[in-house]
């Protein structure tokens, strides 16, 4: 039996009796939405969530315990994609963190927390006097 690699991720297995051609590629269970978020197909669970759990040391089975709507095939598929495209996924995750930080800063800049806190102090003092 001889295994020979062919271009484009195809492997051919030669046997003395018959030639069996195996197609060794898989689809990635991810889609990228209009807002740029990568999610597992058919779910609202993001690439960020699965990769984050994996980087914290969770196994695919432990991730499935947290997200029972996902199959092990989907979880392993996402992990395999991450490991195969680690630099790209890390760049994506960094960009997502920067977008989240910018949004958080924008929201916090629009809030007048000093006035709100003063209003709460006055209300508290009124309730205590009663």
Residue entry with tokens 């205590």: 128
**What is the span of the domain harbouring residue 97?**
92-130
Q: Total structural domains in the chain?
A: 1
16 compared with 79, residue with greater pLDDT:
79
More confident residue, 9 or 63: 63
What is the tens place of the pLDDT at every residue in 24-82? 777 889 999 999 999 999 999 999 999 999 999 999 999 999 999 999 999 999 999 99
Specify whether the CB–CB gap between 5 and 24 falls below 8 A: no
Indicate whether 115 belongs to any domain.
yes
Alpha helix positions (H), 2-112: 47-55, 60-66, 72-84, 86-110
pLDDT range class, residue 127, cuts 50, 70, 90: confident
Q: What angle do CA 72, 5, 12 make, to 5 degrees?
A: 75
pLDDT score at 112: 74
**pLDDT for res 23:** 78
Does any domain span residue 127? yes
In a domain, 79, yes or no: no
| pTM listed for this prediction | 0.68
**Binning pLDDT at 50, 70 and 90, where does residue 130 land?**
low
Contact in structure between 47 and 18 (CB atoms under 8 Å): no
Asked, for residue 1, whether it belongs to a domain, the answer is no
How much is the average pLDDT of 111-130? 82
pLDDT tens track for 84-98: 999 999 999 999 999
pLDDT, position 113: 76
Residue 66, in any domain of the structure? no
Position 124 in a domain: yes
Q: Are strands 10-14 and 2-6 parallel, antiparallel or unpaired?
A: antiparallel
108: in domain:
yes
**In 3D, which of 61, 43, 63, 65 has the Cα closest to residue 53?**
63
Question: Token pair of 114, please?
Answer: 């000093």
Ramachandran region, residue 42 (left: φ > 0; alpha: ψ -120 to 50; beta: rest):
left
Q: Does a structural domain hold residue 2?
A: no
């Amino acid at each position: 039996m001889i295994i020979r690699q062919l271009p484009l991720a195809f492997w051919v297995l030669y046997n003395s009796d018959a030639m069996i051609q195996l197609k060794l590629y898989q689809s990635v269970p991810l889609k990228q939405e209009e807002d740029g978020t990568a999610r597992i197909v058919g779910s609202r669970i993001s690439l960020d969530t699965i990769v984050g759990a994996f980087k914290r040391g969770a196994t695919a089975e432990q991730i499935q315990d947290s997200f029972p709507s996902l199959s092990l095939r989907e979880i392993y598929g996402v992990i395999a994609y991450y490991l195969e495209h680690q630099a790209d996924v890390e760049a994506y995750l960094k960009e997502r963190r920067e977008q989240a930080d910018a949004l958080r800063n924008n929201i916090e800049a629009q809030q007048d927390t000093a006035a709100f806190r003063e209003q709460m102090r006055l209300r508290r003092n009124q309730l205590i006097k009663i």
